[in-house]
A and B are shown apart, each in its own frame.
Chain A
């Protein structure tokens, strides 16, 4: 089913969830790796280019996902979930969206600080803001980009561990709601 149901996430929600999971993990590893390369590395220029293109793609998916989440009802939480778990899960979802948004925004701002736009693969160029940014702020924004990405990575690991805990220890449907589309009771 396209839309979320009472018991499970629809295929679009699932596709957005897993593609962003893959993209964000890739971007994180790529970001750490590309900034460690030396000047003569063959990937010195290409990796940042891919990083920016995939970063933009992730941002576009986030916009679609935010709209889609607002248009859809959330599947009912399994009855085994305690109230604090539900509240925490909701807060985490908002925090994830906010963090991804801010990481993308900060990346965009410091890459375009001198007025040069960002290429989206070989398709089109996202223009830079009309205002250039002062050096102090550029460095601050760049540091924030990295710190927020590390924070997001930690939260993603906790998120995955929590999902596995629900699946393996509690044996509830928390994880399977996000996997496949079989109707569940």
Chain B
């Protein structure tokens, strides 16, 4: 179901990664979309009384990471916005519509990192440009390194957890959900398989 544009973008970013990795020794990882060992969730207040969680079911991306030089790490993730899923048919339809994501006009959301800074305690700060609803803004993601190592099937995997907050109006989503629901938290769980 991928558009030609998406495919072209993906192959372009693949080419870029190939070229950049020819001088850096960083390992390249493909986010495990196939086995869905990765998720992009959002958490938003419902009226201020509870939390609503939803997710994007379809996204792909890659990252590069070198243990000897972690601050050179890079990540790029593309999200298919129409895959938004809050486990409610009518709400999802509403979220896809022009009040929220407007997926017809903005079929993709995207994060491209610009800077990664690792701390000594296993946490890190990931800065990058997040494009949503046609608007690109710099965001900072608080990252926790989860682990890395061989998997039982002959591969090598590495995983991170990330959290950040975005304001809906920063991305031109002005639908009024009440004062408690102007921001949402993005909960990111990423596992990559070394290529």
Residues of chain A at the chain B interface (Cβ within 8 Å): 38-40, 48, 110-114, 116, 135-136, 138-139, 142
Contact = CB atoms under 8 A, between A and B. Distances in A.
Nearest to B91: A114
B158 interface: no
A135 B96 contact: yes
B89 A111 contact: yes
B176 A139 contact: no
Interface residues of B, number: 15
22 contacts: A38-B176, A39-B175, A39-B178, A48-B90, A110-B89, A110-B93, A111-B90, A112-B89, A113-B89, A113-B93, A114-B87, A114-B88, A114-B89, A114-B92, A116-B88, A135-B83, A135-B96, A135-B103, A138-B89, A138-B92, A139-B96, A142-B93
A55 to B, nearest CB: 14
Contact of B82 (A111, A112, A136): A136
B135 interface: no
Interface of B: 82-83, 87-90, 92-93, 96-97, 103, 175-178
Contacts of A40: 176, 178
Given A139-B93, A142-B93, 15 more contacts: A38-B176, A39-B176, A39-B178, A111-B89, A112-B89, A113-B89, A114-B87, A114-B89, A116-B89, A135-B83, A135-B92, A135-B103, A138-B89, A138-B92, A138-B93
Residue in A38, A111, A114 with the greatest tally of chain B CB atoms within 10 Å: A114
B6 to A, nearest CB: 15
A110 B92 CA distance: 11
